[in-house]
Structures are given as C-alpha cells and as structure tokens.
A and B are shown apart, each in its own frame.
Chain A
Amino acid sequence: MRPILILSEVRFKKDGLKEKELQKENGSSVELKLIDSPVDRKKIEQILKDKPLGTMLILYTGGAARKRIRRAANSAGFSHEDVRIGKMDTGTYCIFCSQCHRINRTASLEKSIICISCGQHLEPSNHYSSFQDAYLGYPIL
C-alpha cells in the first residue's frame, strides 16, 4: 500500500475528510493537509519535499490550484499518475465533448447539453476520467 497525501483547499474540506476516512478504511497510511487559496507554489514544494517515494497525491482543489500543484509536484519528482483528482461535490460537473474534446460545465448529469464549442447535442454518461476530471458526453443523433 502506498502512502497517501490529500491536499485540500479549505472550501473542499468536507470532501477531503471523506476521502481520508475512505482511504483509512482501505488500510492506507493517509495524511490530509488543508491549503489556503490562492495556492502558493513554494509552500506546496515545502510540503512535498520530504514525502516518501511512491506517495500518491489526491487533490481537492479548484482548477487553478490544481495546475500549480501539478507543476510543484512534477518538480518534486512526482510523476503525472502520482497525482489524482478527488471527486468533489462542487455542484457542477465537467462534460468532455466526445466530438471536439471541449470540456463543458453543467449543473446536472441527468440533462443533455449542447457543446459550447461544436454545438453537438451531448448526453452525459457516468464514465469518469480522473485525468481529465470530466465525464464523457456521448453524441445524441
């Protein structure tokens, strides 16, 4: 079992805590660190500096913070797949347009949407990519 470090912005604290409980139940050694927004890259590097090799990062943050943390993590020796995005209850979902790859935002996975980039009518699915942080939208013909 690899050690897990959860980095959570204060506004996503609830989701971060839930993740921590879940990972604990799975038997992982897990640590949760709350971070301030906007995220300070130096501080993140400080946090990551002495983490053991093979540590997995799970992020509960917005998009801007995520980018900064990824960069800091990469320079601290973490590879791309060492960094995962947690599932957040943000009230909005991202839908990956399967026709043009644009990521659209929506309030519900139940309703179909029109892609803002290519105009395709899309049906959100429950197929989720933690890499894209988005659900796949299938075309409706």
Chain B
Amino acid sequence: MGYYGIFKITGRLDVREVIQVSRLNGFPFPFTKDQYTYSNNSVPLDPAKTITVTADYKNELELKRKLLQKHHHRCFRSLPLSMESQWEIMLLLFNELASCNPESFTFQKKGDECLFQNHLLEEEEAFVFRDVSTIALEPLDLVGRHVQEDLILMGDRHNGLFLEAGQLCFPSNWSLAFVQGMEFKSIHNPVPGIQNDGFIDKVERFISKIRPGTVWERKNWSITVTNMLDTPLETYSVWGKHRQEVTCENAGDLIHLRVEVQRLFRLPMNHDVLFTIHTYLLQLNDLIQQESWFKSFYQNIKTLPEEIAEYKGISTYRTELIRFLENHMEKERRGQ
C-alpha cells in the first residue's frame, strides 16, 4: 500500500506524511526494468532545462554554502581558461531560474548590467557581465550558490573533453581535486566489464555530438548507508564505515537509494559542455511503501552482478539488504 492509501484511510495527513508524499512524488525513480542493466540511457529534454528547484531548495542551499565556506578547496576548482564559459553558465542559470520559477526568482539584463533576485533566500546579485571586478566569487562558484545542482564545466578541446571547472558539494565517493584538469575519458574509475567494449569512448563521442542549446538527461543510481548528500572521497573514513553497520533489522533506516539526475548541455556561445548533477535521496523505509518501486528495486539488487555490486560499494551489506527486502515481502504477503 502506498501513501495515498494511508491518506484515504485516515482522511487526514500530518506534516511528516505531507513531506513524504511530495518526496515520493518528486523522486526520480531510476529503474525501468526488473533486472539490472547498465547503459548510457540518456534522453533529450524538452523544454531544455538544466536545473530543477524542489521543496528541499532552502535546506540544500544552506548545506551547500556551509560546505563551500568550510571546505572551499575541496568543493570548488577552476582553471583560468574556464572563465568565459563560467560567465556563460552564470547567465544561463540565472535566466533559467527566473523564467521557469518567476514567483521565486527574477533576472534583468540591460546591456551588460545584470541583476538577479532570489526571493526564496531574500538575496540579490548585481554585476556587470564579464567584469570580474563586480563579483566576489568566480561566476560558477557564485551561481552554484543559487541552485541545488552540482555544476561541472567540461572544456571541449579539439582532442577531447577536459574538466576545467567544477563546484561539487554532493559527490558520490569521488574527488574534484583529483580529477580537475583531467580528460573526460580518464576521470571515471573503470566500470567493470564496460571499459573493455569501448563504452567510455562511445559516451565521449555522444557528448561531443550534443548540439548547442539541447539538454540530455540520464539517471544514475547508487546506495548510501547514510542520509548525507555530501559523501566525497575526502571524508570516506567518516561515512564509509557505516557500510559495516547494516543488519537486516536496521536496513530500512540506514539505507538510502541515491539517484543523480545528470544533465548535459552544450553552451551555445563557447561550445563547452555544462554537466549538472541533482542528487536525490530516498530512505529505504519510504521506498518500500510504493509497491511497484519496492518490487523493481528488489529485482535489480537481486540480479546485480557481483562486480557491479562491488563497484557500487554494496557487496559488504548486500546479503542483509536482500534479507530485509524479503522479510518485508513476507510481511506484506501475510497482510501484516
């Protein structure tokens, strides 16, 4: 039975349930098949939106800014040659925020004089386009403090794509500091069984063919044993150890399905590529309330090849997770 069922029976919704309903509604459930498959399942988006504002906006922005304040060197990196594209991204995102959410944001540009107003946070940014003396932070670092997404800029050079700037607060076990300046192809840890058949080359060719102004989206899932959005490689010793703590009793509380909605956009002016990552977390206890999601999740975890489970960091507690899911199934069957 899903949350709507509860709503019907009790006839009223308390605050926690309201939040749950909206979270389940907006959650980008990633599984489309009842079996594990790995593919570059990108789809074109119409309208071409690179970002999304959700109910968690204020909380996530607060967390993001705290991390940037405390660990700036970890969360923001840029090469000098990225400046032009950074400006383009700032303009693009301020524009998009305002045109898609006019009640929450406004953006005006007269000549090069720009004014962005964030009504949700009661802030404004006034600056002159491409004049660094009018902004206190680099453009990508500034605009990133008004969107929930992590932002990565990939420079499209004649010999490949390079990570030239990034604001990354919510990574799933990787380090911006290590990969800055690297070529797209070598950024990724080899995915087992996938490097061999030229998969990364295919993805790179795909990205290099994206036409200006178009957005492609894919969903990437993983599992975290914490409700933290910020799981960088740099603090692995803090959050990684929880993987040992999962039992078939506490799995519902500890385990979260983590989905990254990743979007690729070709910048029309500079022809570089903007990569946005919006991260969503859903606690397993919430996930299993939605019967179709529960079934699909169970089948995917069950059929996950061992090397992929290892790659995604699930191996340590996979047995406990499956037992938890099967116990739940048994309870449902008995109508408890």
Which A residues have a C-beta under 8 Å from some C-beta of B?
2, 54, 56, 79-81, 96, 98-101, 120, 125, 127-132, 136, 138-139, 141
Assess A2 versus B234: contact at CB under 8 Å? Given A81-B181, A127-B189, A132-B178: no
B237→A141 contact, CB < 8 A: yes
A80→B181 contact, CB < 8 A: yes
B186→A129 contact, CB < 8 A: yes
- A2: B residues at CB distance < 8 A: 158-159
> Given A127-B178, A129-B186, A139-B237, 9 other A-B contacts at CB below 8 A?
A81-B162, A99-B236, A99-B237, A101-B178, A125-B189, A128-B186, A139-B236, A139-B240, A141-B240
| Total residue contacts A-B, CB cutoff 8 A | 62
Q: Within 8 Å of chain A (Cβ to Cβ): is B175?
A: yes
A136→B175 contact, CB < 8 A: yes
A120→B237 contact, CB < 8 A: yes
Which B residues have a C-beta under 8 Å from some C-beta of A?
73, 79-81, 155, 157-159, 162, 164, 175, 177-183, 186, 189, 233-237, 240-241
Q: Which residue of B lies closest to A140 (CB)?
A: B237
Assess A80 versus B79: contact at CB under 8 Å? Given A98-B234, A131-B181, A139-B236: yes
Q: Within the complex, what minimum Cβ distance (angstroms) separates A93 from chain B? A: 15
Cα A139 to Cα B236 with chains together (Å): 7
B240→A81 contact, CB < 8 A: no
19 A-B residue pairs with Cβ-Cβ distance under 8 Å, sorted by A, are A2-B159, A56-B159, A79-B81, A81-B79, A81-B81, A81-B155, A96-B178, A98-B234, A99-B237, A101-B234, A120-B237, A131-B181, A131-B182, A132-B178, A132-B181, A136-B178, A138-B233, A139-B233, A139-B237
Cα A100 to Cα B74 with chains together (Å): 9
Cα A130 to Cα B180 with chains together (Å): 10
- B189: A residues at CB distance < 8 A: 125, 127
Q: Which residue of B lies closest to A131 (CB)?
A: B181
A131→B234 contact, CB < 8 A: no
- B179: A residues at CB distance < 8 A: 129
A129→B182 contact, CB < 8 A: yes
